[in-house]
Amino acid sequence: VHLYGGKQGDESLKEIEIDNSYVTVPATVPEGPAFNIAQLWQRFADGVSSGERIEPDFQSAVKRHELLDAIQNASDTGSVQYL
């Protein structure tokens, strides 16, 4: 998995290092959709066994939709959106 990002004024995107603590599945799981689904199921299992909040949940879906709405508004208006 590769993550790229930048700050306002940067000329290009730079790779952002992902901390290994976010990878919860064995290295034998192939990259791509299989990796994503394995991560999801592992997080679900960890949440069920620990009793902690499991994400994604409804609240995280609301946050994602607010972000998508802000992106659409920024595209439509050309103005900065604040979340």
Question: Does residue 12 register a pLDDT over 80?
Answer: yes
pTM of the predicted protein model: 0.54
Q: Tell me: do 1 and 33 sit in the same domain.
A: yes
At 14, give phi and psi (nearest 5°).
-120, 150
Q: Tell me: do 31 and 59 sit in the same domain.
A: no
Q: Tell me: do 47 and 8 sit in the same domain.
A: yes
> Structurally, how many domains does the chain consist of?
2
Q: Tell me: do 20 and 35 sit in the same domain.
A: yes
CA distances to 14, 18, 39, 49, 72 from 21, rounded to whole Å, are 21, 8, 12, 18, 32
> 5 with 13: CB under 8 angstroms?
yes
Question: Does residue 1 register a pLDDT over 80?
Answer: no
Q: Tell me: do 27 and 40 sit in the same domain.
A: yes
Question: Does residue 5 register a pLDDT over 80?
Answer: yes
Q: Tell me: do 24 and 64 sit in the same domain.
A: no
Q: How many CA atoms lie within 13 A of 34 on its CB side?
A: 6
Question: Does residue 16 register a pLDDT over 90?
Answer: yes
Per-residue pLDDT reduced to its tens digit, 20-74: 888 999 999 998 999 999 999 999 999 999 999 888 889 999 999 999 999 999 9
